[in-house]
Structure 1
Amino acid sequence: MNIQRNMVFFFLLISYIGLSQRITYTVADSLTKFPIPYANIVLNSNSGVITNEDGNFSLPENERLDNKEIKISCIGYKTKTVLLEEIIDEKILLSPEIVRLSGVTVSNVSLDPIEIVNKAIEHLEDNYAQQHTKSDFFLRQTLNENITKVQTEKLKSNISEFTQVKLDSLTKEIPKTITKYTEVLFDFNEPSGIKSDFILNPIRIVKHEEKNQASALDSIKIDLISLLKKHLPGSTQIRFKSGLFKLGSDIDINGDGPQNDKTDINRDKAINSSGYLGSNFINDLLYNNPDQFDFLKKPKYYEFDLKGEISYGEHSVYVISIVPKDDKAKYEGQIFIDVQDFGIHKLDVNTIAGVSEKMFGLLGIHSTMNGHSYRIYFQKLHNSQGYFPKYARVETKEELRINRNMQIKSLSDNGKEKLVSFEADINILEHYIEEASFGNPNVTKRKENKASNVGKSAVEVIYPKEYSFEIWRDYDIIEPEKTLFNFKKAGKY
């Protein structure tokens, strides 16, 4: 009996080790040996993953034992099917599709590149808005904040313990570099029609961050209120304001809330912010907001160079480079347009080096965009009803400047008493990377939470101590970058 029990234990142990360990593969160009980002990896025709920016993807080690094959596809490359056990050195090479320079005609009428681009614009509604689509939508945001300046001055305080020296010491404790990762799985439901009122319902939210990380303003707010608790009666209610605007809810000094320390988790805030994040991303997709790309709105600022035509699966695609020719031009890159229906299979553009754009400026808050890039892939639906997003990466660099008056007031039946006020001068460099993948339209793999109206109580909000692939088992997501893959919270948590 003991032998049998030990054998069972040994089998379970081996199975667990096989499930927990993963093998990382790299997809690369056969000629240049450069990695190929955002290649689609399909395993046994029913599940898969998408390579990250470094061309990497990983699978559980036990997948290799089952003589399984994978299919790798990426626009501009020949699709390849290989057996996992035959891959050498965990590297898979894809051969580039040859660009055909001849036969660039439709109905025997030669087209120049600007005509092709204009036809793509004309057919946006036909190609992207005729179907009612439902899909899984996975979104990952990486936020890097570099706080370059935090200065407070002109302090006025009715509490003797609150001095400029004390305020300065609090601001010095604010972490100058912050990195946060947010991953969200949504139900995505979009009626037909350009700029339709789509519905996004978060199903699972995973936040990889140190619990003590907060923005500069939040850190000042939390530290000041914690200090106030030591010097105010327990029944005091306070309000934190910036100019005319209230920052957050009024706070009862005796109450429990996010002001108590930086480790409290605000569930509703996580759910609401994830919805805001997902909606902004969808609204930035090409077919919802084409005017944001000035090469489509003002093509006179650009040269469009027709590189030729390639095969992409069952389709032929024009390859057109976008080259600035005017000082007012913002972007450069490539666009891939279908030969038959002028649908856009892929958009790969970025702002020209040195181009900046003021995004917002009002009441002491200024935001400037210092870099933007879009890499968006679309899948052509088999029922010929148009195109649907497959995966996308949007990268944004911004500078945020805040120069505002901050106040803390106590609230009572007798009115409002200003306890503390000061001027805050904060500069933050923000770098966002947002990556998204979409499941097959009208096909849902989930066995749970299928309803289009998901209440907050059904939403999972997870703060893991380290990154785990098990969280997203059975979902086609983009392989994480090394920094997230290696994420672990500090030992004190």
Structure 2
Amino acid sequence: MHYNQVVSALFLCLSIGTMATAQTITSKVVDKKTNEPIPYATIQLSENQGVITNEEGRFSLNLNGDLAKIDSIYISSMGYEKVGVSVKNVTDSIIYIQPKAIELKGVFISNKNLTVDEIIDNVKERVDQNYNFGLSKRRLFFRESEFNTVKKFDVKFKKSTIKELNKKLIDSVTSILPKRAEYYTEILCDLYGNFDKRKLHIIKAAELYDKNNRVSMEAVAERMETIFKKNVKPNSYLKIKSGLFGTKVQVDSLLESREEASVVKDEIDNQKKKDDKSEFLKHRKSGLESLMSSLFFNEDVMSNFLNKSGRYNFELVDYTYIDDNSVYIINFSPKWRADFKGTLYVNTEDFAIVRADYENVKNLKSFKLLGVMFQDNLYRNKVIFSKGQNNKYDLKYLEMRRGNRFGFDRPLKVIEKNKHVKGRRKQNELSLALDVIMANVNKFEIVVFDSSPLSEADYKASTENKSIKPQYLSRYNPEFWKGYNIIEPNSAIKQFTVAPDTDTEAGQE
């Protein structure tokens, strides 16, 4: 075993405990009665700093710098007693917390006559005063997990007049195409601004994926290009037909494009390297902007249960506590022309939604025509807010899952024709039948560790590091984020590793 692998394995074993070197605490929060892990519990470090447990109830803290002075941490979760734990006394890998009994205090008595519709009206009226729309500096961790799955990939070989383009090649290409691909991106950053303008400064970033998938696709492309150049005449054109539809592509232009690309390849690669330095920041910033803009209190959002509340039925089902604050538990479901169902947790004093869990009940978009199918079929969201220094609520945690399915079941013909040769124009033909279904799911996680008000002058003085690039990881490395606070990865990420390289050259005989 390689030295680095030994170190990584040793670290994984040690991380099961809660106290480690360099003032690191790694632990799991568990319900004392049921022994079940508690996801999304808050681990408070100070008034406006903290982390959150992942979906498996796990968290990790690095008490470095100013945090080294902290002597206690506080664990709280909806419906549980808030627990203070001395850092020095944390010796177990599990922290148990006790469910909290509901006590009907004065606030419940004073508000008990409000109908659920009146509560929702209060929520809507107080959005501007409850949530932070001003300039802020947020230290946050942003993870995106992308999963692409080929559900079905049937290719029926019908006919080919090119010897190399035979059933064996088609089957070979089909066999090496990746049936499942995972891609993870993680950044620790400072986000400056508000909902109208933002700047992003990335502190550290990583990409975790399998490069072998890309190599396989490049091998296929090179093999097909070689066959194409060898068998197709330069002054031909290709007629590509799928069912009733067809299009023409001039072969000369394709070959010239390939030759020009070969001549200027180095120049393009050099330019691409320059562009890539800013593209990563651009894409991460765009992703954060999209997620922030999707929050339910914004206008014209897809999750419209608040700004178009008339389309939903609301039901007050219970009360509970989040930290030391009493909250209404309100379920909602579609009434008409609505897409979501879920649960809202509303502060009984200021009527702020402090947590919302919701998901779609039907396809948000659906299209099927002439053998082509698309479904926007997954929108599942969880958002948690906490009150900040300016007595306004700020995003504490967001977890969103978005998914779709795409497919086509159609015949495909590629016909080479040439009007400059004697005899018939038709030179070669490849005929296939394709039946493909692909599924894509993106999971986004944002945890905000610290949020503080920002002046206009400080916003203007803030900078973006456009040259930042992520570090490529072929397997989960627990050492990568050592010294930084993040949301703990789940088991799937921890177990991700790239398989050893294999011979994936297409069309070998």
Stretches of structure 1 that go unaligned for 5 or more consecutive residues are 1-12, 410-417, 445-449
Q: Which amino acid aligns with 1:117?
A: I
**Where do residues 394-409 of structure 1 align in structure 2 (5 Å cutoff)?**
394-402=400-408
Question: In 1, distance between residues paired with 2:430 and 2:286?
Answer: 32
Q: Which amino acid aligns with 2:153?
A: V
Q: Which amino acid aligns with 2:452?
A: N
1:274 aligns with 2:284: yes
- 2:390 aligns with 383
1:441 positional shift: 1.9
1:303 aligns with 2:314: yes
1:467 aligns with 2:469: no
Match of 1:480, SS state, is coil
Q: Relative to 1, partners in 2 of residues 1:455 and 1:349: Cα closer, same or farther, differing over 3 Å?
A: same
Retained in 1: the 8 A contact 2:51–2:448? no
Q: Which amino acid aligns with 1:347?
A: A
1:336 aligns with 2:345: yes
- 2:225 aligns with 228
1:330 positional shift: 4.2
Q: Relative to 1, partners in 2 of residues 1:365 and 1:253: Cα closer, same or farther, differing over 3 Å?
A: farther
- 2:374 aligns with 367
- 2:466 aligns with 456
- 2:43 aligns with 41
1:208 positional shift: 0.8
- 1:209 aligns with 209
Question: In 1, distance between residues paired with 2:171 and 2:435?
Answer: 12
Higher-Rg structure is: 2
Query: Which of 398, 403, 420 pairs up with 1:392?
Result: 398
Q: Relative to 1, partners in 2 of residues 1:367 and 1:119: Cα closer, same or farther, differing over 3 Å?
A: farther
1:79 positional shift: 2.1
Match of 2:470, SS state, is strand
Moved more, 304-313 or 356-365: 356-365
TM-score, normalised to structure 2, is: 0.70
Question: In 2, distance between residues paired with 1:365 and 1:442?
Answer: 49
Q: Relative to 1, partners in 2 of residues 1:189 and 1:25: Cα closer, same or farther, differing over 3 Å?
A: same
TM-score, normalised to structure 1, is: 0.72
1:25 positional shift: 1.9
1:280 positional shift: 2.5
Q: Which has the higher contact order (CA 8 A, sep 6+)?
A: 2
**Where do residues 84-233 of structure 1 align in structure 2 (5 Å cutoff)?**
84=87, 86-87=89-90, 89-101=92-104, 103-104=106-107, 110-152=113-155, 161-163=164-166, 165-191=168-194, 195-200=195-200, 202-213=202-213, 223-229=220-226, 232=229
**Where do residues 63-82 of structure 1 align in structure 2 (5 Å cutoff)?**
68-82=71-85
1:463 positional shift: 0.7
Question: In 1, distance between residues paired with 2:63 and 2:452?
Answer: 31
Question: In 2, distance between residues paired with 1:108 and 1:61?
Answer: 42
1:481 aligns with 2:490: yes
Question: In 2, distance between residues paired with 1:73 and 1:407?
Answer: 63
Retained in 2: the 8 A contact 1:357–1:370? yes
Q: Relative to 1, partners in 2 of residues 1:488 and 1:443: Cα closer, same or farther, differing over 3 Å?
A: farther
**Structure 1 vs Structure 2 CA RMSD:** 4.7
Question: In 2, distance between residues paired with 1:255 and 1:426?
Answer: 35
Question: In 2, distance between residues paired with 1:399 and 1:422?
Answer: 22
1:350 positional shift: 3.0
Q: Relative to 1, partners in 2 of residues 1:455 and 1:23: Cα closer, same or farther, differing over 3 Å?
A: closer
1:321 aligns with 2:330: yes
- 2:419 aligns with none
Question: In 2, distance between residues paired with 1:207 and 1:406?
Answer: 39
Query: Which of 446, 449, 458 pairs up with 1:439?
Result: 449
Question: In 1, distance between residues paired with 2:142 and 2:125?
Answer: 29
- 1:357 aligns with 364
Moved more, 273-282 or 202-211: 273-282
Match of 1:433, SS state, is strand
Retained in 2: the 8 A contact 1:41–1:50? yes
Retained in 1: the 8 A contact 2:157–2:170? no
Q: Relative to 1, partners in 2 of residues 1:168 and 1:277: Cα closer, same or farther, differing over 3 Å?
A: farther
**Where do residues 236-255 of structure 1 align in structure 2 (5 Å cutoff)?**
252-253=261-262
Moved over 6 A (4+): 20-23, 44-47, 60-63, 106-109, 153-159, 241-244, 360-365, 403-409, 418-423
Q: Relative to 1, partners in 2 of residues 1:44 and 1:201: Cα closer, same or farther, differing over 3 Å?
A: closer
Retained in 2: the 8 A contact 1:47–1:476? no
Retained in 2: the 8 A contact 1:137–1:185? yes
Q: Relative to 1, partners in 2 of residues 1:321 and 1:47: Cα closer, same or farther, differing over 3 Å?
A: closer
- 1:5 aligns with none
Question: In 2, distance between residues paired with 1:224 and 1:131?
Answer: 50
Percent of residue pairs identical: 27
Q: Relative to 1, partners in 2 of residues 1:362 and 1:78: Cα closer, same or farther, differing over 3 Å?
A: farther
Retained in 1: the 8 A contact 2:311–2:338? no
Q: Which amino acid aligns with 1:400?
A: F
Q: Which amino acid aligns with 1:304?
A: E
Retained in 1: the 8 A contact 2:372–2:408? yes
1:92 positional shift: 1.1
1:327 positional shift: 7.3
- 2:436 aligns with 426
Stretches of structure 2 that go unaligned for 5 or more consecutive residues are 1-9, 15-19, 250-256, 417-427, 455-459, 503-509
Query: Which of 30, 33, 49 pairs up with 1:31?
Result: 33
1:399 positional shift: 1.6
Retained in 2: the 8 A contact 1:67–1:83? no
1:99 positional shift: 2.9
Query: Which of 54, 57, 66 pairs up with 2:56?
Result: 54
Retained in 2: the 8 A contact 1:399–1:428? yes
Per-residue CA deviations over 1:52-75 (Å, capped at 9, x if unaligned) read 101012457999x99953222233
Question: In 1, distance between residues paired with 2:136 and 2:430?
Answer: 53
1:174 positional shift: 0.9
